[in-house]
Amino acid sequence: MASKRRITDCLSTAILLTGLAGAAAADQPDPFGQFGERCLGRGPDFQRTVAAAKDRNWPALATDMTTSLTPVENPVALEGWNLTAEADGSFEALVVARASVGESRVESCTMAFAEIDAAAFERRLVDETRAKASGEKNGQGRIRKFFEASSSERRQAITLDLPLYPNGNDEVVVSVVSEQQIEN
């Protein structure tokens, strides 16, 4: 798994490069709404997300950043996009992956944001998903919080990486991992 320092370095680099990247729709929902729409609503779905990225011509995210934002080890499939809107200039990325964990096939969906209110994001995550805290790990200047949530379709493991002392203008990385849904 990527170190928190590497994630922070990649996010910092991405923030500097935001003016160079892509086009996202101007009427996007707020960051939590985007995470809910792209990752939580129906759970991670690698194929659906890749198809949406192609349809919308999302620019690819640098490989090292895509890898650093992946919450699963040794992914068998991995894709990432820079969704930074030119109008507001704040960094936003989306990464999806597939991996095997023991006997289970899992999919993950991660979003990274810069310049958002981390405390408000966490409150909405807990309130709107009824996520239950399952642990946390402190790092240098950051905290990683682990949650479990269930939808009608499957259980989800959620990881929220945020600053130890949020100030309303924060970098947030949030991931959801669940068993892969195989449709017949």
pLDDT tens-digit map of 63-117 = 999 999 999 989 999 999 999 866 566 889 999 999 998 888 999 999 999 999 9
Q: Is residue 114 part of a domain?
A: yes
**In this structure, are residues 79 and 65 in contact, taking their beta carbons and an 8 Å threshold?**
no
Q: Is residue 184 part of a domain?
A: no
pLDDT tens-digit map of 48-63 = 999 999 999 999 999 9
Q: Mean pLDDT across the stretch 6-20?
A: 43
Strand partners, 155: 150
Give me 127's structure tokens.
Answer: 């309130």
Q: Is residue 22 part of a domain?
A: yes
Helix (H, G, I), strand (E, B) or coil at 143: strand
**What's the domain count of the chain?**
1
Residue type, 134: S
pLDDT, the chain, mean: 83
Helix (H, G, I), strand (E, B) or coil at 48: helix
pLDDT tens-digit map of 155-173 = 899 999 999 999 989 999 9
* Residue range of the domain that includes 25: 4-179
pTM of the model: 0.81
pLDDT of residue 128 exceeding 80, the answer is yes
